[in-house]
Amino acid sequence: MSRWKWIVAVLIILLCFAVGAAGNRVQAATGVPGDVHASGQVTATDAQTILQKTVSRAVLGRTEEAAADVNQDGVVDVRDAILVLQQAASGSEYPWDLVDLQAALMPGGVSLDLRFPGEASRIDGAIHVLLRDLAGQEQSRQPLTLAEVDDGKSGHVEGLLPGISEVADLARYVLEVQGSDGGKAVRHRWSLYELTPRLRVHVFGPEKWYAGAPNRARVAVQEARSGEAVGGAEVVATLVGPGGGDGIARQTAVTDPEGLVNLAMAVPGGISGDGELEVTVSAPLGTRLLSQSVEIVT
């Protein structure tokens, strides 16, 4: 049995205990991601319907299918069901977009960078990062120490799942962050698979960038495992000057079918010193940030 079929089978068994059997046809969705049954909230029933769609046991209309494609990658599959299950059980006091997480699969396991800006920075108390399997069983737990930063709090954890070497294996795990807000328990859950980018990004450009002139570079985006080109990915390139800040030049573009973007960035005159070329790539496979040191000369 393939890995994905095994995951689907486990999720269907779990959902049978959570909800009754769903019909073969569902009513029109509300447009809320994951709310396939138009109930006004995302529940385990929606996740079951998505799984039935995955194994061709449910028929969805265009609107329902759009709601079922939670991660908006153009395909309704088990990953969408995982996201719906997490949303239904999140129990969080904060909207998901208030917490910023970046995950990476390293040789020693998974590393996480977490940022709690604005209202989310109220999280306090004993904070832990947990990994659960799809049955909800705790697999590991690590304490998280947060540091004060300009816009809130941030923390770092590494060495999770040291035996994992393939990104696809991460689909078997749910990431959970536990803390408190003024004594009230706060819990966040995410799909570890969805947090981990499956992108490979290369930047080809000069080490010296000339002020008062256009400068050219090329960005190549590939799927990490296969090396296949990723077209349609959004690329945001920012040149940060010697003084730091928001950047002295910026360009936004979309990769062509070959996964390429040609940058042509005009650097203001009268600037010199060490800088950074920051390239952010966003695609259904994830988001990657690449930083490259450059020298700005006049």
Number of domains in the chain: 3
**180 and 203: one domain?**
no
**177 and 258: one domain?**
no
Look at residue 77 and give its three-state secondary structure. Answer: coil
**83 and 101: one domain?**
no
Per-residue pLDDT at 84: 74
Look at residue 80 and give its three-state secondary structure. Answer: helix
Per-residue pLDDT at 233: 93
Please check the confidence at residue 40 and state whether its pLDDT lies above 90: no
Residues facing 294 on adjacent strands: 275
Share of the chain above pLDDT 90, in %: 17
Task: Read off the tokens for 253.
Answer: 């573009």
Task: Read off the tokens for 92.
Answer: 């969080």
**150 and 204: one domain?**
no
Per-residue pLDDT at 105: 76
Task: Read off the tokens for 222.
Answer: 């590939």
Is there a contact between 126 and 143 (Cβ–Cβ < 8 Å)? yes
* Between residues 216 and 45, the one the model is more confident about: 216
Share of the chain above pLDDT 70, in %: 79
Read off the CATH number of the domain in which 157 is found: 2.60.40
Per-residue pLDDT at 182: 77
Length of the chain measured in residues: 298
Please check the confidence at residue 161 and state whether its pLDDT lies above 70: yes
**217 and 235: one domain?**
yes
Half-sphere exposure of 11 (CA within 13 A, CB side): 31
Please check the confidence at residue 265 and state whether its pLDDT lies above 60: yes
Please check the confidence at residue 212 and state whether its pLDDT lies above 70: yes
Please check the confidence at residue 214 and state whether its pLDDT lies above 80: yes
Read off the CATH number of the domain in which 33 is found: 1.10.1330
**189 and 211: one domain?**
no
Determine the straight-line distance between the first and last CA of the chain, rounded to whole angstroms: 62
Mean pLDDT of the chain: 78
**281 and 224: one domain?**
yes
**77 and 164: one domain?**
no
d(CA 27, CA 184): 37
Per-residue pLDDT at 24: 39
Per-residue pLDDT at 264: 93
Task: Read off the tokens for 34.
Answer: 């994951």
Please check the confidence at residue 48 and state whether its pLDDT lies above 70: yes
**108 and 160: one domain?**
yes
Per-residue pLDDT at 29: 52
Strands across the sheet containing 234-240 = 208-210, 286-297, 273-283, 234-240, 249-254
**226 and 275: one domain?**
yes
pLDDT digits (tens, 9 = 90+) for 123-159: 887 889 988 876 677 888 889 898 988 888 899 988 8
Per-residue pLDDT at 35: 75
Per-residue pLDDT at 21: 36
Nearest CA-CA partner of 193 in 89, 85, 280: 85
Task: Point out the domain boundary residue: 195, 215, 245.
Answer: 195
Is there a contact between 216 and 209 (Cβ–Cβ < 8 Å)? no
* Between residues 127 and 63, the one the model is more confident about: 127
Task: Point out the domain boundary residue: 137, 166, 195.
Answer: 195
Residue for token pair 């941030």 = 154
Most confident range (mean pLDDT) of 38-52, 106-120, 216-230, 251-265 is 251-265
pLDDT digits (tens, 9 = 90+) for 272-291: 899 999 998 988 877 787 88
* Between residues 1 and 102, the one the model is more confident about: 102
Task: Read off the tokens for 26.
Answer: 């569902």
The answer to which of 23-27, 107-111, 162-166, 269-273 has the lowest mean pLDDT is: 23-27
**16 and 69: one domain?**
yes
Task: Point out the domain boundary residue: 88, 109, 132.
Answer: 88
Residues facing 237 on adjacent strands: 251, 279
Full residue range of the structural domain in which residue 291 is found: 199-297
Per-residue pLDDT at 215: 93
Q: Please report which helix (H) or strand (E) contains residue 241, including its range.
A: none
Read off the CATH number of the domain in which 256 is found: 2.60.40.1930
192-203 residues labelled b (16+ CB within 10 A) or e (exposed): bbbbbbbbbbeb
Per-residue pLDDT at 220: 95
Amino acid at 7: I
